[in-house]
Structure 1
Amino acid sequence: MRWIWAAVAATAPLLASPVAASAPLNATASTAAQRPDHVVVVVMENKRYDAVIGHRRTPYITALARRGANFTAAYGETHPSQPNYLALFSGSTQGVTDNACIRHPFDAPNLGRQLLDAGLTFTGYAEALPSTGFTGCSAGTYVRRHNPWVDFADVPADLNRPLRDLPSRWGQLPTVAFVVPDLCHDMHNCPKADADRWMRQTLGSYADWAESHNSLLILTFDEDNGTDGNHIPTLVLGAGVRPGDRTQRVDHYAVLRTIEDAYGLPPLGAAAQATPLPLS
């Protein structure tokens, strides 16, 4: 079944509860909504919008933006990287203002725990993570500062997995999966073309599959490179998503709110004041 998203008022959740996914909410909602079977969220690094979307070295990501909803006014919350990842995963930067390794996990609400408590599933997949449940600050091209789910005490360690554990059969994915490339494939240390190629090879078949299997691919960046007001690429592709540019200003809190609304979860922190991404 194809499903349609509706942008609603910033303080009103899109879905009242997981079991009411197909029912209209109130007079302000223009359509009903059907929750996706799977959402995959990919986060890349440190690039301004026009350095990726439409750039000759990132043809695949540009093609994804043209196939889906391309947010031309998406912005990170702050600099440097780490607080933006925390904002996306928990609706708050948790008071973090730097990239220093977080030694003591937060006892705070977060998307992973929300999904588990609602009877849904979550897994975070990090490229170059040495082993399941690894809590070290770095290992080769892996860094913990790009892996927000490991920073919350109530997310089980066995849901912190290396990218090699990403299912090859997309129907076996958890309800929501975060996929974080390593320092090369996230555009941090290596040419953009390498990351573009990685995206096509790693998730290209998922992008194709999602469009016909009631699922979503979300690609966003943590921050820009400090040259364009933290203006970042963000796109959403999948079943029921109308292709085209979206010009409203959005941020990581809006991305989080969209996922939470889809599954009838209460918005966390600043996501409560964010307007969901308009996808239909």
Structure 2
Amino acid sequence: MKTFISILVLGTLSTLFISANTSGDIPKYDHVVVVIEENHAYSEIMGSANAPYINSLAKDGALFTNSHGIGHPSQPNYLALFSGSTQGIKGDECLEKITPFKTPNLGAALLKQGYTFKGFAQTMPAAGFLGCTSRSSSITIGHLYARKHTPWVNWLGVGPNLIPDSLSVPMTAFPKNFKKLPTLCFVVPDMDYDMHNIGIPGDAAAIRRGDHWLSDNISSYAEWAKKHNSLLIITFDEDDYDPQNGNKIPTIFYGEKVVTGQYNTPINHYNLLHTLEAMYGLPSDDKQSASPIDGVWSK
């Protein structure tokens, strides 16, 4: 069963559908890089002069104009995107005393099926780091690295559904030769460069820093991806708590086999997770009804 929704793509009426039972025409990419930004609403980023790079990706990629976070605050959104569940977590508390979780998750599922996975985090002190925070910011108030933004860390260990410590690494390990990237990886900038602000809605400086970081660190991969059967996904954890916004966030697909346009079907982090699972034929072990995103791919 497929639900069809009309959308405007490149000035013509096209169709996006979400497939309930199959992966449809979702490509199997050699590499997927998922970058997660922080705490800004769709309206604060899209069309903003403070985010020229993200807007350039949206212009030449697939922009989802009705994408939403799961809730607030940050951490449950990251857990939902990585595992299809908030794991019962409702806040941003450090989970070092109750983890590792033993539940299914995207990273372990990829490894089990013979694919590869890594999590890259800016300012993470060392591979396999389990601490809650690291280093103080010289720009904003607080720490740079925050475990609440690196969901895979909560499944590090040895055993079913667990991920080896060696696959959780600092951003300095991100390869310059993109052929050495894993099948799928998460990239998380630190709190100076993930657009996280200090409580000022739409903080222009935070947006500019984050956009510049993406341009400096991700743009080469983005252009390489368009010619090497690879994909870049940019999304956000949540909006800035504006009750009028409905937790609407930017989400962009950019790479080879992506049909350029704007897509207005409602999606959330669970739809995104199930798209990645369908892409690689992985089981969806969670109980979410959200379907994979289909209809945005060229043959």
Residue 246 (structure 1) aligned with residue 255 (structure 2): no
Match of 1:114 among 98, 109, 115: 109
Residue 220 (structure 1) aligned with residue 220 (structure 2): no
Q: d(CA) in 2 for partners of 1:277 and 1:75?
A: 17
| % identity of equivalent residues | 44
Question: How many pairs does the alignment contain?
Answer: 258
Match of 2:174 among 166, 173, 177: 166
Using the TM superposition, name which of 89-98 and 102-111 deviates more: 102-111
Deviations 1:5-29 (A, max 9, x none): x85532x131xxxxxxxxxxxxxx4
Q: d(CA) in 1 for partners of 2:31 and 2:177?
A: 12
Match of 2:196 among 178, 188, 195: 188
Residue in 2 aligned with 1:234?
251
Deviations 1:25-63 (A, max 9, x none): xxxx4xx45311000000000000010111010011011
TM-score in terms of structure 1 length: 0.89
Using the TM superposition, name which of 149-158 and 106-115 deviates more: 149-158
In 2, are the aligned partners of 1:13 and 1:267 still within 8 Å (CA)? no
**Which ranges in structure 1 are unaligned for 5 or more consecutive residues?**
1-5, 15-28
**Which ranges of 4 or more aligned residues in structure 1 deviate by more than 3 Å?**
270-273
In 2, are the aligned partners of 1:68 and 1:241 still within 8 Å (CA)? yes
RMSD: 1.4
1:84–1:134 CA distance, 2 compared to 1 (3 A) = same
Residue 149 (structure 1) aligned with residue 152 (structure 2): yes
Shift of 1:155: 1.1
In 2, are the aligned partners of 1:257 and 1:271 still within 8 Å (CA)? no
Match of 2:130 among 115, 131, 135: 135
1:277–1:74 CA distance, 2 compared to 1 (3 A) = farther
Residue 202 (structure 1) aligned with residue 202 (structure 2): no
In 2, are the aligned partners of 1:246 and 1:278 still within 8 Å (CA)? no
Higher strand share: 2
Residue 13 (structure 1) aligned with residue 22 (structure 2): yes
Residue 49 (structure 1) aligned with residue 35 (structure 2): no
Using the TM superposition, name which of 34-43 and 264-273 deviates more: 264-273
**What does 1:61-72 correspond to in 2, within 5 Å?**
61-72=54-65
Shift of 1:273: 3.2
Shift of 1:195: 0.6
For 2:104, the aligned partner's letter is P
TM-score in terms of structure 2 length: 0.83
In 1, are the aligned partners of 2:18 and 2:294 still within 8 Å (CA)? no
Residue in 2 aligned with 1:36?
29
